[in-house]
Amino acid sequence: MEEAAQNESSTNEAPIPKPTPSTNTKPKMSKKPIIITSAVGLVLIVLVALGIYLWQQGIAKGLNKERNTLEAKVVSQSAQLKTLEKSNKDLSAKVNFLDKALKEATAAANIEFGELSFPSVKATHYTYDEAGVERSVLLVDVTTKNETDQTLFLSAFNFKLKDAQNKSYPFAGEGSFPLPTGRVLLFDQQMAPAETVTGTLAFNAPKLIKLFTLFYNAQKFTITVK
């Protein structure tokens, strides 16, 4: 009977609930800051890319401007070069023309003057009295010979007289002084082949100078006055 009472008491007891496992629930993170950050980053990237693009465009414009300036300079210099080349051609043509004319003139001078020879050239200071004043001229006695087989021209005015300092002296005018007996002033004339002519040249040169150079075209002769 006691056993039956124990069984009844055990059946009347409330059932003991089973413990439930504990679960830690984390709060959900908001996605809004991430979206904002991503948007700001994207905007920054776009702005940086735009800045780089504009900077490169500025550099490109500057380079294009410099290139255009250089091209303009090249065109200008090319035009100047063409002008210079044309001027050089014109100058070359003129030089060739003058050179040809000079050669022709030289050839003519050689035929007319260049083959005369001067075997003798002597000079003396001649003193004379003019109204009680002593004057002097330099007399140069010249012997000229035509050693060619053609007629040549002798020009007295082709003679030039200079001193050691390269100073020139003029001719003494005919009739301005009394010419010594036996002398004849040299004058322009034709010289036949093998002909020899002797004449005198008179210059207004100082009596104190003793050394002169007499020129006839390209020929020159040193004169020492004794």
No. of H helices and E strands in the chain? 2, 9
Instruction: Find the range with the poorest average confidence among 43-47, 93-97, 148-152, 206-210.
Output: 93-97
150, two tokens? 């053609």
Instruction: Estimate to the nearest angstrom the gap between the alpha carbon of 85 and the chain centroid.
Output: 13
pLDDT digits (tens, 9 = 90+) for 160-213: 999 999 999 999 988 889 999 999 999 999 999 999 999 999 999 999 999 999
CA 85/CA 28 separation, integer angstroms: 88
Q: What's the one-letter identity of residue 15? A: P
CA 200/CA 184 separation, integer angstroms: 6
Instruction: Kindly indicate the confidence band of residue 111, based on its pLDDT and cuts at 50, 70 and 90.
Output: very low
- Phi and psi at residue 159, to the nearest 5°: -80, 140
- Enter the DSSP assignment of 5: H
Residue 110, pLDDT > 70, answer: no
CA 104/CA 109 separation, integer angstroms: 9
Residues 6+ apart with CB under 8 A from 201: 139, 140, 142, 156, 159, 161, 171, 185, 186, 214
Q: Pairing between strand 196-203 and 133-146?
A: antiparallel
Closest of 58, 198, 25 to residue 122, by C-alpha: 198
Residue 224's DSSP bridge partners are 211
Instruction: Kindly indicate the confidence band of residue 27, based on its pLDDT and cuts at 50, 70 and 90.
Output: low
pLDDT digits (tens, 9 = 90+) for 60-105: 788 888 888 888 888 888 888 888 888 777 777 777 766 665 554 4
CA end-to-end distance (rounded Å), the chain: 196
Closest of 166, 169, 182 to residue 137, by C-alpha: 169
CA 41/CA 35 separation, integer angstroms: 10
Instruction: Kindly indicate the confidence band of residue 26, based on its pLDDT and cuts at 50, 70 and 90.
Output: low
CA 153/CA 39 separation, integer angstroms: 111
Q: How many other β-carbons are positioned within 10 Å of the β-carbon of residue 189?
A: 14
CA 85/CA 77 separation, integer angstroms: 12
- Global pTM value: 0.50
